[in-house]
Structure 1
Amino acid sequence: MPSRLPCAFQLVRYVPDPVRNEFVHIGVLLREEGGQLNLRFTRDWRRVRCLDPDADTAMLEGMETELRRRLQEDLARPEAQRKFTRILDESLSLGVQITEPKAYLAESLPAGMEELMKMYVDPPKRERVSRLSGRAAIQSAMRDEFERAQVWSLMRKQIRAAEYTRPGDPLRIDAGYRPNGMIRMFHAVSLEPGVEMAKVLAFSSASLRTGVERIEKAKLELTAIVEPAAQLGIKAGESEESAERLELYRFGIETMEEHQIRVLTTTDLPNVAATARRELRLD
């Protein structure tokens, strides 16, 4: 029987309310003793949304990308293994925690990661699929189409507006990429709860555009992805309430368009993803 690798693993938890201390495991950090380190988050956020329907899963995905980048950078240095815990402590938000290391014997690092993810993180297939709504549904649709076009891994996620506007700006744009001297950014904007999200993006668009031109020396095309009106049950002329909701829906779209934001619906995502694939030269 081949000898197993001595490793240590830690579980990454999502804890929306530290007082109640309810949590869901969302990832695994696996480190070979004196060797490689592997980090993986779940790709199925059903458990997170059951615990917290308002969870920003795109932010969590962006956190994984940032952690991977920072850990890989430091692993190239001799003192990397001594510093990896500090890097995690700096990167994890208040809503995300990491457990203490536990010893683990793995056949290999990839095999060990698969086993630990199945044991602690990924939900069994028999669980009921939760219905997504609002911004989470749009984000999920965006990711599905970009992954189908095989460009998701090539895109930036959770782009901090503060990099281009000013310190303290909390806005994070969901995803983007840079083709041929310009930058395209995409942000999920749900008009289901109202027009507040549309107004926030409209308010930020001018300074974001100016900052991109100044720092990246490139033009910015900012696209908001919204739900089709029919998906929200809005039908013209059906009732006075429906007419008011339609007016509000149109107001949200027009507000963004007035600020030079391109507005598309989730039904346009296949074409958007196909364009990204072509511009990133995968065809």
Structure 2
Amino acid sequence: MADRVPCEFFLIRYVPDVVKGEFTNIGVVLREAAEDQGGKANAVVRFTRDWSRVRCMDADADLALLEALEGEIAERLRLGAADTKPVLTLLEDTLSNSVQMTEARASLAENMTAELEQLMRMYVEPLKVKRERRTTGRAAIAGAMRNEFERAGVWGLMRKRIAASLYTRPGDPMKIDCGYRTDATATSAGSVVRMFQAVSLEGDVEAAKGFAYSAPQLREGVERLESARLELTAVVEPVKRGNSEEDEALERYRFGVEAMEREAIRVVTLSDLARVAETARLELRV
């Protein structure tokens, strides 16, 4: 059996009321105890994807800010993984004392990925009941998309919840799930911004229509502000082929796909995510 790696971990806690001292764990920072020759220690962070306990404690919690905080911490760790002070400073500057980090605790890991998942199960994720309702629709697609990008090691390098209003016009409420920019030398077409959106076609197709409607303005805005070409990708569930009673649902599905493809939006299904994530890994040189 391979030797285990000495590590230490920190829990990230959400504390809505500092006076009461009540909290819920929302994430884990894990790093190797030993530094490499460059003076850095391998470190990773992961936040929960189930914010139900946070909502129960604080109905007004800014979940978008908490989700974005994960990426900010990952960037601080990448720049200075051997020192947690930059992370503590970030937490203090972002939400005062509402987000806190515990003291370090020791652990022995077979590998960083497995250990991080184990710590998330032990300290962060709520207990799952046997008959838990299956996540469906857009939430399921977004979760699968994140899983694949995490497996490829690129999730921490990607932008999340990208405001369309940055490129279209003020007031545009659309948020693009995630994206990244390629280096000018990574593709023959120069710099490319790739954005990915989970779009469920199981119910109505309004999300597909809205995404298609915004595509031309998004492209023009990215070209104008970032001097790059924009490639939009919609991730959808596979089409369901069944009896004649499902013909109407199939027609809606086809309508949604065609509406997006007419605006040059690439449409892929969940089965294509591994290939999409691998492309991101190569382009981001992970």
TM-score (norm 1): 0.64
2:47 matches 1:42: yes
Tell me the residue number matched to 2:14: 12
Moved more, 207-216 or 144-153: 144-153
Tell me the residue number matched to 2:58: none
Match of 1:184 among 170, 194, 211: 194
- For structure 1, the 5+ residue unaligned runs are 1-7, 15-22, 30-37, 74-79, 91-96, 109-113
Matches within 5 A, 1:61-72: 61-66=67-72
Check 1:208–1:134 CA distance in 2 against 1; reply closer, same or farther (3 A cut).
same
SS in 1 for 2:200: coil
2:164 matches 1:158: no
> 1-side partners of 2:106 and 2:221: how far apart?
49
Check 1:10–1:254 CA distance in 2 against 1; reply closer, same or farther (3 A cut).
closer
Instruction: Tell me the CA shift for residue 251 of structure 1.
Output: 1.0
Check 1:245–1:160 CA distance in 2 against 1; reply closer, same or farther (3 A cut).
same
What is the one-letter code of the residue matched to 1:184? R
Instruction: Tell me the CA shift for residue 228 of structure 1.
Output: 0.7
Match of 1:252 among 240, 249, 256: 256
Report how many residues are paired. Answer: 239
> 2-side partners of 1:182 and 1:171: how far apart?
21
SS in 2 for 1:229: coil
Matches within 5 A, 1:211-230: 211-230=221-240
> 2-side partners of 1:117 and 1:148: how far apart?
16
Instruction: Tell me the CA shift for residue 272 of structure 1.
Output: 1.2
Check 1:42–1:64 CA distance in 2 against 1; reply closer, same or farther (3 A cut).
closer
SS in 2 for 1:166: coil
- For structure 2, the 5+ residue unaligned runs are 1-9, 17-22, 30-42, 56-61, 80-85, 108-115
Matches within 5 A, 1:86-235: 87-89=93-95, 98=98, 121-123=124-126, 131-179=134-182, 180=187, 181-230=191-240, 234-235=241-242
Q: Provide, for residues 126-158 of structure 1, a one-character-per-residue CA deviation record: whole Å limited to 9, x for no partner.
A: 877652211111111111222222222222222
Do 1:176 and 1:185's aligned partners in 2 also have CA atoms closer than 8 Å?
A: yes
Q: Provide, for residues 222-249 of structure 1, a one-character-per-residue CA deviation record: whole Å limited to 9, x for no partner.
A: 000000112xxx43x522xx11111111
TM-score (norm 2): 0.64
> 2-side partners of 1:149 and 1:107: how far apart?
27
Do 1:71 and 1:87's aligned partners in 2 also have CA atoms closer than 8 Å?
A: no
Tell me the residue number matched to 1:238: 244
> 2-side partners of 1:254 and 1:117: how far apart?
40
Do 2:168 and 2:221's aligned partners in 1 also have CA atoms closer than 8 Å?
A: yes
Check 1:70–1:270 CA distance in 2 against 1; reply closer, same or farther (3 A cut).
closer
> 1-side partners of 2:282 and 2:77: how far apart?
31
Q: Provide, for residues 71-119 of structure 1, a one-character-per-residue CA deviation record: whole Å limited to 9, x for no partner.
A: 999xxxxxx99986773248xxxxxx937899x68679xxxxx9x9777
> 2-side partners of 1:67 and 1:105: how far apart?
16
> 2-side partners of 1:81 and 1:149: how far apart?
24
> 2-side partners of 1:216 and 1:70: how far apart?
24
Matched residues, percent identical? Answer: 48
> 2-side partners of 1:257 and 1:189: how far apart?
13
> 2-side partners of 1:148 and 1:81: how far apart?
24
> 1-side partners of 2:195 and 2:250: how far apart?
26
CA RMSD of aligned residues (A): 4.5
